[in-house]
Amino acid sequence: MGIQVVRRYLPYLRPYWRLVAISGLTGLASLIAATAIPLVIKAVIDGPVARRRAGELPPYLALLLGLAAAEFALTLARRHTSGLASYAMEADMRSDFYAHLQSLQVGFHDNWQSGQLLSRCVGDINTIRRYIGFGLVFMIIMLATFAAVLVMLVRLDVWLALLTTVAAVPVVWLADRFYRDYRSVARRVQDQQGDVTTVIEEMATGVRVIKAFGRSEDMLRQFEGEAGALRDLNLEAIRIRAGLWTLLVYIPNLNLAAVLLVGGYSVVHGQLSIGGLVAFISYLFMLNGPMDALGWILGMGEEARTASDRLDEVRDTAPDIVDQPGAVAIGESAGRVRFEGVGFRYPGSEEWILRGVDLELEPGETVALVGRTGSGKTTLASLLPRLYDVSEGRITLDGHDIRELTLSSLRGQLGVAFEDPILFSASVRENLLMGRPDAAEEVIERAIDVAQAGFVRELPWGLDTRVGEQGYSLSGGQRQRLALARAVLGRPQVLVLDDPLSSVDVHTEALIEQALASVLKGVTALLVVHRPSTLALADRVALIEDGAIAAVGTHHDLMASNPVYRALLSQAAEEAAS
C-alpha cells in the first residue's frame, strides 16, 4: 500500500530526521505505557480485589494514573513532532513542484489546464503529506500495537490468542478487495476535483466576459454539472469505504463474543483467572481503535498513490528549454541579433508556423514585424527570449547561438512586453521590478515616464498600491503601459515589444512613441506592429507572409514597391479609424 509514495517522497523528511526520531521514540514509549495498563488491571483484580483488601488498591491506582498520564504526554509529543515534520515536508514538496512548473517550457503550459495544475500543487501534495505524516505513522503504530498486543495475548492464553489471529484473516481479504474497488474511483475523484478547480478559475478570470454576454446561468449550469459529477464520485468512494469500515467494526465484535464464550469457559474450569480474562479483553479493546482507523488508512494510502501518479505526470516531464552543457553567460551585449534559417513548429505538429526566416538586426537598430493575423509575427518574437526553441536553424546574439547561452544571462539582456499585458496580484512597484529587482528609484520613475504611466502616482498608495489579480483593477491601456514600463526598466540591450500600444488611445500612443524614440537610441528592438503609426519608430520593416520573410526594407521603400505591404497597412489604417 503506497510503497511507491513512500519511496519517492519519504526523502523529503530527511532534513527533519530529528523530529521523525523524536516522534518514533515517543510513539514507542507511549505504546509501552498503554500495553502495561491491562497488566496492572489484571494485578488489581487477581490481587486486592480477589483477596478483598481495599488498602492495597492506592498504589495500583497511582500506577494506573501515572501510566495514563505518560501515555497522554507521549502521544501529544508524537503528534506534535510528526506534525511539524510533515508540514515542513509539504512546504518543501510544494516549493519543488512550483520550481519545476516554472522550469517547464511555455508549450507545456499551453497544453495543461491551470486548474489541473493547481489541484496537483495544492490538493495532491496535501494528500501525500497527510499519508506520510499521519497515515503512514499511524500504520506503523498500528502494526507495532498489533505485534505488542499479540505477544501479551499469547502470554495470557495461547488458545484465545489463536482465536483472535484467525479472526484477522478476513481483514486481509477485505483489504485486498478494497484496493481493487477503490483504486479507480480515487483517481476519478482527484481528476474531477481538477476539473472543478478549472471551472472556478476560468470563472474568476473571465467574469467580465461572462457578465458582458449574459452567460452567468450557463456557467452556473456548467459548474453544477462538474460539481455534481464530483459529488457522485465522492458518494461512490464513501460507499466503498463505508462497506469496508462496517465489516472492520463487525469482525472485532464477533471476535469479542467468541473470546467471552471461550474465555468464560476457561475461567469456570480454572484454566484462566478473571483478571487474566479482563486483561485479555482490555488488549482486544486496544485493537478497536486501530481497526476502526484501518479503513481510513487504506483509503488514504490509495488516494496518496493516485496523487503521486498525478504529480509524476508533471514531475516526470523534463524541461525542454534549459541551460545546455557548457552554456556560457554573456556579458554586456552589443545587441546584434540574427535569425538564420529559422523554422518553428509546435511539438507533435506537422504544420510549420515559421520556415526559412533570415533576418539581421544591427546593434541599435529597430526592426518592425508586419504581417496578417496568424502570419507568425508573435511566434518569431517569442523565440528570441527562448519562450520556445527553434525547430530548425538558429538565432544568435553577438554571434552566440542563444541556445549556448545561459537562460539567466540571455534574458538579462532582454526587455519584453506582450500584447496581452500580464500583471500579478502585487503592488505596482513589485510588478515593475519583475525583471530588474535591484533597479533604483530614479530608474523606475524614468520607465514610468517613458510608458506614460504617471497615473500610478495618483493611485491611493502610489507605487505601493496593489493592482489586483491580473491587474484587472486597471484599464487595458493602463495595464499595457505598466507592462511597457516593466520592459524598458533598466535600459536592456535588446527590446522585444509585441504590439505594446494596442490598448492605448491615439493621444497616449503619440506621447509613448515620442518617449520610446529616445529609449530606442542605442537599443536593438524587435517590434511586432499592428498600428501603422508605430512604424515611425522602426529603422526597417520586415513583412511576414505565411511564416516567411517576404520583404525587408524601410517603410517608404516597401510602400513604394510592395503592393501586399500597402494593402496590409491600408486595411490596418481603416480598422484603426473605425
Q: SS3 of 524, please?
A: strand
| pLDDT higher than threshold 70 for residue 129 | yes
- Taking phi over 0 as left and psi of -120 to 50 as alpha, with beta for the rest, 271 belongs to alpha
Cβ atoms 460, 432 nearer than 8 A: no
What is the rounded distance in angstroms from the CA atom of residue 351 to the CA atom of residue 109? 20
| pLDDT higher than threshold 60 for residue 462 | yes
For residue 511, give the nearest of 469, 455, 471 by alpha carbon: 455
For residue 303, give the nearest of 250, 393, 241, 245 by alpha carbon: 241
What is the rounded distance in angstroms from the CA atom of residue 13 to the CA atom of residue 320? 29
Rounded percentage of the chain residues whose pLDDT exceeds 90: 15
What is the rounded distance in angstroms from the CA atom of residue 353 to the CA atom of residue 350? 10
- In the prediction, which pLDDT does 9 show? 83
Q: What is 363-380+411-577's CATH topology? A: Rossmann fold (3.40.50)
Burial group, residue 318, by CB count within 10 angstroms (0-12, 13-18, 19+): exposed
Q: Which residue has the higher pLDDT, 390 or 272?
A: 390
Section 171-189 average pLDDT: 73
Q: What global pTM score does this model have?
A: 0.75
Rounded-to-10 torsion of CA 203, 205, 211, 217: 0
How far is the first Cα of the chain from the last one, in angstroms, to the nearest whole number? 66
pLDDT confidence tier of residue 339, bands split at 50, 70 and 90: very high
Q: SS3 of 440, please?
A: coil
Q: Where are the domains of the chain?
A: 3-315, 363-380+411-577
C-alpha cell at 211: 457578465
- In the prediction, which pLDDT does 471 show? 65
Taking all residues of the chain, what is their mean pLDDT, rounded to a whole number? 83
- In the prediction, which pLDDT does 318 show? 86
Section 432-449 average pLDDT: 84
Taken in order 343, 345, 350, 351, is the CA torsion positive or negative? negative
| pLDDT higher than threshold 90 for residue 160 | no
| pLDDT higher than threshold 90 for residue 540 | yes
For residue 398, give the nearest of 494, 327, 323, 527 by alpha carbon: 494
Per-residue pLDDT reduced to its tens digit, 376-417: 888 999 999 998 999 999 999 999 999 999 998 898 888 888
pLDDT confidence tier of residue 356, bands split at 50, 70 and 90: very high
The length of the chain is 578
- In the prediction, which pLDDT does 95 show? 92
Q: Which residue has the higher pLDDT, 452 or 210?
A: 452
The phi, psi pair for 545, rounded to 5°, reads -130, 125
Number of H helices, E strands in the chain: 21, 10
| pLDDT higher than threshold 80 for residue 21 | yes
- In the prediction, which pLDDT does 573 show? 59
Section 261-276 average pLDDT: 78
CATH of domain 3-315: 1.20.1560.10
Section 536-550 average pLDDT: 89
Section 78-90 average pLDDT: 90
Rounded percentage of the chain residues whose pLDDT exceeds 70: 91
Q: What is the DSSP letter of 46?
A: I
pLDDT confidence tier of residue 469, bands split at 50, 70 and 90: low
The mean-pLDDT minimum among 62-66, 191-195, 459-463, 508-512 falls in 508-512
Section 294-308 average pLDDT: 78
Per-residue pLDDT reduced to its tens digit, 490-503: 778 898 888 766 65
| pLDDT higher than threshold 90 for residue 164 | no
Q: Which residue has the higher pLDDT, 263 or 429?
A: 429
C-alpha cell at 71: 501515555
Section 348-377 average pLDDT: 90
Which residue is listed with cell 497522554?
A: 72
Taken in order 311, 314, 317, 320, is the CA torsion positive or negative? negative
pLDDT confidence tier of residue 245, bands split at 50, 70 and 90: low
| pLDDT higher than threshold 60 for residue 578 | no
For residue 386, give the nearest of 403, 374, 364 by alpha carbon: 403
Section 73-80 average pLDDT: 91
pLDDT confidence tier of residue 198, bands split at 50, 70 and 90: confident
- In the prediction, which pLDDT does 383 show? 93
Taken in order 142, 145, 149, 151, is the CA torsion positive or negative? positive
Quote the Cα angle for 88-138-242, to 5°. Answer: 115
- In the prediction, which pLDDT does 544 show? 93
C-alpha cell at 205: 478570470
- In the prediction, which pLDDT does 26 show? 92
- In the prediction, which pLDDT does 575 show? 58
- In the prediction, which pLDDT does 574 show? 60
Section 501-518 average pLDDT: 69
- In the prediction, which pLDDT does 173 show? 74
Q: SS3 of 521, please?
A: coil
| pLDDT higher than threshold 90 for residue 533 | no
Section 229-243 average pLDDT: 83
Which amino acid makes up residue 381?
A: A
C-alpha cell at 106: 511555455
Pairing relation of β-strands 548-553 and 414-417? unpaired
Section 351-356 average pLDDT: 92
The mean-pLDDT minimum among 70-79, 503-512, 548-557 falls in 503-512
- In the prediction, which pLDDT does 2 show? 59
C-alpha cell at 216: 452567468
- In the prediction, which pLDDT does 352 show? 92
